[in-house]
Every structure is written in C-alpha cells, then in structure tokens.
Structure 1
Amino acid sequence: MEFKDSQAIYLQIADYICEQVLLNKWQPEERIPSVRELAVQLEVNPNTVMRTCELLQQQEIISNKRGIGYFIHPDAVKKIRQFKKDSFISNELPSLFRSMYLLDIDVDELKPYYEKFKKSNFR
C-alpha cells in the first residue's frame, strides 16, 4: 500500500479496512487479519495498526474478542457508508460542485461517465 503525505497513516489504514468491507472482501462478523499480520502486509509499525483498530472500535466498525482478534461489526457496512457519505458531502462535494459550476457542467452530463466507471471498476 502506498501512503499519501496528506493524511495520517493510521487514517489511511482505516480507509483501507473500510474499503475491504464495502467491497465485500471482509464480511460482517468475520475475523480480520491480526494487528501483526496487517502491519507486515502494509509495511507499517504494529502500533500504527493498533491505533487504527482503536479508532475503528470507537466507531463500532470492528470489535475485539479478547484473545481471538478483531471482527467486523454486524452493522459495519451501514456505519461505514453513512460516515463516508457525510464526509464526502461535507468535504469533497463542494469542490466538485465549484468545478462543475465554473466549467458549466450539468449533473446530467456526468451520468454516462459514472455508469462507465461503475462498469469498468466494479463488475
């Protein structure tokens, strides 16, 4: 995984874990790789992964079964989507709308591009 300088690594790892859930690679109530396994896989310090797990536990996206490991919370998909939607609407959408306005792009013009993107990336 390549990390960006614009965001803390533990937050990027949280995004990675959430993406695995949203892409159905990790199912609700399924055990995720251990802190050590994720640290090796992502080439980061285990303390960084632990910080990520603490954050995701607070958001009830994962839960810890003592001595067994971390598991995807049953409502994780719903919580991740809501959190990501709120973040997208407040942080990214204003910039997109500004660009659309300045370039005189109508929302309807974007639909074919969105459909093409979905077909090529998620089917």
Structure 2
Amino acid sequence: MRARLSAASEKTPAERWAPLARELDPRLLEQGDWPATAAILQQVHEQGHDVGAVTCGLVTEGPLGDSPARDLRYRIVSRLELPIVGGETSPAPTQSPGAARDRQDVNGPRPPRRGTLGR
C-alpha cells in the first residue's frame, strides 16, 4: 500500500489522470492544454470530490466540444465553483469591480462622497 501511494505521489497530474481521460474522451490527452485540465482534476481530488463520478457525470450531460480539455475544465469550474487562479481557467467575474461599490444599499441611495465633483 505504501509503495502505491508513493508511486502515485511521484506522478504528475497529467500522468495520474491519463487513464480517466482515456475513458472520458481519448482526445483529451492529445490537447496541448491537457496538463492544465489534469491540474484541475487534481485540485478537485484534493478537495475531496470523486473525480471519476464528477467528470463522468459532466461528459454524460453532453459530449465534449472541439477543444475537449478546455471544455472539461470549464464544466468542472462552473459546476463545482472552483476558485481557479491564473490563466484562461479563471472564471469570468460576475460583475465589474466597481459594481458592488456603485450599487445602492437596500436602505436607499448612498449620500454623495466628499470631494466629488458636481456638488
């Protein structure tokens, strides 16, 4: 058991998740961005999710598109609402940075800020 755990920890995520990728869609391994997708699969695993069940469910909902590795990443991120940082795997913000600041309180409009033009 210890030897298997040690061998698994020495593998890169791309190597570790390759057998699952072959089952889901063999094209995944041919994609240049497969390592990025495998890194997300590893993150899902480390968060305690059943990677096989999650990914099989996502692929069962519909076949992966022309960019299968990216498609799978986007499905995982949107379904599990993962906080992915960096690169194209970052989910788009749901509102602009100033939107929360500009939004009115539930109690009514905010008073004007000091030092603003148009007083």
TM-score norm. by structure 1 comes to 0.23
Larger helix percent: 1
Q: Which has the higher contact order (CA 8 A, sep 6+)?
A: 1
Structure with larger Rg: 2
